[in-house]
Amino acid sequence: MIIPEQLIANCRKMPEREAWLENLPAMLKELTDRWSLRIGPPFDHANVTCSWVATVVRDDGTPAVLKLGMPHMEGAHEIQGLRFWNGNPTVQLLEADDDLGAMLLERCQPGDMLRSEPELKQDVVIASLLKRLWRKPASPNDLRGFRHLSDMLESWRQETLTQAQHWPDAGLVEEGLRLLQALAKPSPTDILLATDLHAGNVLRSEREPWLAIDPKPFIGDAAFDLVQHLHVCEARLHADPMGMVQHLAELAEVDRERLQLWTFARAAADPRSEWSNLSWMGIARALAP
């Protein structure tokens, strides 16, 4: 069995993940037997760092994708999120084992990533997908069990605090941390977010031109959902922070000031391995309230 090196490295960080990694071959055997799958080689690229993912063929000849998720706080409710969105505009969930964190997913064909398109087109597609994802549930019970965004951001806050000796500008980071807490406070307008939608998590498909994959659902402020795409477009964001925020806010029809504050807070205070990348401090200063 081939296991991508980056996935192995991430599993070595926590005992729970090491146990999952050790059990991975047994889980794979159980699922391929239960769901009658013929399995291909796993995906092994920069995007596959928290799960084991491979193309498969079902017993009736239908192509699909098998995904086994590593224990991961942010991605713990991916299966529930895919059930909520039900293929609109995400990949369809064909089978699932909640206990194993295993998913049999619709296979996007031809499957090109949105990042193969010019960034201005990426902006339009991301905003369009997000506006479809941000829909009110049929009943409040539909969101029962999903965690609030404040839970994830508190985890980030604690990680950033452990990195304090590396902060290049303590005042800026502290203000970013303060705003992450303030912006994440629950509100009656909160909706279910994807939280990790960027051009590497959108694939070209036959069923629709583009479908979202790998959601990490949390309940919170819609404006937060644009920041991941903004951060992935780092060069443009660094060149014109305020212009990028204005552009994306208009495309997605969110409050520009909220998006500015979220983008500032994440640029200033996201936990990161490389605090030496001072471009993020430059972006934070340009967007500071």
In degrees and rounded to multiples of 5, residue 65 shows phi and psi of: -130, 130
Q: Which residues of the chain are modeled with pLDDT < 70?
A: 45-47
**Do 172 and 201 belong together in one domain?**
yes
The domain that contains 68 carries what CATH number?
Answer: 3.30.200.20
* Selected catalytic residue, list 33, 44, 142, 196: 196
Q: Which of 51, 78, 106 is the last residue of a domain?
A: 106
**Do 61 and 77 belong together in one domain?**
yes
Length of the chain: 289
Q: Which of 106, 140, 170 is the last residue of a domain?
A: 106
**Do 99 and 163 belong together in one domain?**
no
Q: Which of 57, 90, 106 is the last residue of a domain?
A: 106
The domain that contains 195 carries what CATH number?
Answer: 3.90.1200.10
- At residue 142, the pLDDT reads 87
Question: Which amino acid type is present at position 184?
Answer: A
**Do 78 and 195 belong together in one domain?**
no
- Residue 142 appears among annotated catalytic residues: no
**Do 69 and 160 belong together in one domain?**
no
* d(C-alpha 130, C-alpha 194), whole Å: 8
Closest listed residue to residue 132, CA positions, set 84, 67, 175, 65: 84
**Do 277 and 169 belong together in one domain?**
yes
In degrees and rounded to multiples of 5, residue 93 shows phi and psi of: -90, 115
What is the number of domains present in the chain?
Answer: 2
**Do 49 and 130 belong together in one domain?**
no
SS3 at position 95: strand
* d(C-alpha 20, C-alpha 10), whole Å: 11
**Do 33 and 132 belong together in one domain?**
no
119-137 residue pLDDT tens? 999 999 999 999 999 998 8
**Do 19 and 93 belong together in one domain?**
yes
* d(C-alpha 258, C-alpha 125), whole Å: 21
**Do 231 and 155 belong together in one domain?**
yes
Considering only CA atoms, give the Rg of the chain: 19
**Do 218 and 124 belong together in one domain?**
yes
What is the reported pTM? 0.95
Chain CA centroid to CA 202, Å: 11
* d(C-alpha 242, C-alpha 287), whole Å: 7
Domain that holds residue 119: 114-287
Task: Tally DSSP H helices, then E strands, for the chain.
Answer: 11, 9
- At residue 48, the pLDDT reads 78
**Do 139 and 270 belong together in one domain?**
yes
Q: Tell me the C-alpha to C-alpha distance, in Å, between residue 106 and each of 65, 86, 205, 208.
A: 6, 11, 10, 12
* d(C-alpha 115, C-alpha 259), whole Å: 22
In degrees and rounded to multiples of 5, residue 274 shows phi and psi of: -120, 80
Q: What does 205-218 look like in DSSP terms, one character per residue?
A: -SSSSEEE-----E
Q: HSE-up of 82 (CA within 13 Å, CB side)?
A: 26
